[in-house]
């Protein structure tokens, strides 16, 4: 799937707002604000249930990586997510304690 098409499909889901559960949350991380080297995808089945997380890493900007963006679309589709939340910007990568 083309990276622009995948990004548009994700954005369309995000624009719908909160529609209940299951919910997918997407957050990008990076060393710099202009390059996201990681993306975290969190899945929540019901309110109060345990959050499942999967992370993807990229040597380039994950927001422009066709494979990662296509995988995000597939995760959203397969989870039959009612709500998709995307955290704006790139969060700093926190170092392990």
Q: What share of the chain is helix, strand, coil (3-state, %, to 5)?
A: 30, 35, 35
Cα 90 → chain centroid? 12
Q: What is the mean pLDDT of the segment spanning 37-54?
A: 95
Mean pLDDT of the chain: 93
Looking at residue 97, its pLDDT comes to 45
Looking at residue 55, its pLDDT comes to 95
Span 3-91: which CATH code? Answer: 3.30.720
Does the pTM surpass 0.75? The reply is yes
Could you give the CA distance from residue 86 to residue 88 in angstroms, rounded to a whole number?
Answer: 6
Looking at residue 1, its pLDDT comes to 78
Dig out the tokens for 13 from the structure. Answer: 């889901």
Beta bridge partners of 69: none
Q: What residue ranges do the domains of the chain occupy?
A: 3-91
């Amino acid at each position: 799937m083309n990276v622009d098409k995948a990004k548009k499909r994700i954005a369309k889901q995000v624009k719908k707002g909160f529609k209940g559960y299951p919910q997918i949350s997407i957050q990008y991380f990076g060393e710099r604000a202009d390059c996201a080297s990681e993306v975290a995808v969190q899945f929540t089945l019901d309110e109060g249930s345990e959050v499942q997380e999967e992370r993807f890493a990229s040597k380039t900007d994950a927001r422009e990586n066709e494979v990662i963006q296509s995988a995000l679309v597939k995760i959203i589709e397969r989870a039959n997510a009612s709500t998709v939340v995307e955290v704006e910007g790139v969060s700093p990568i926190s170092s392990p304690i």
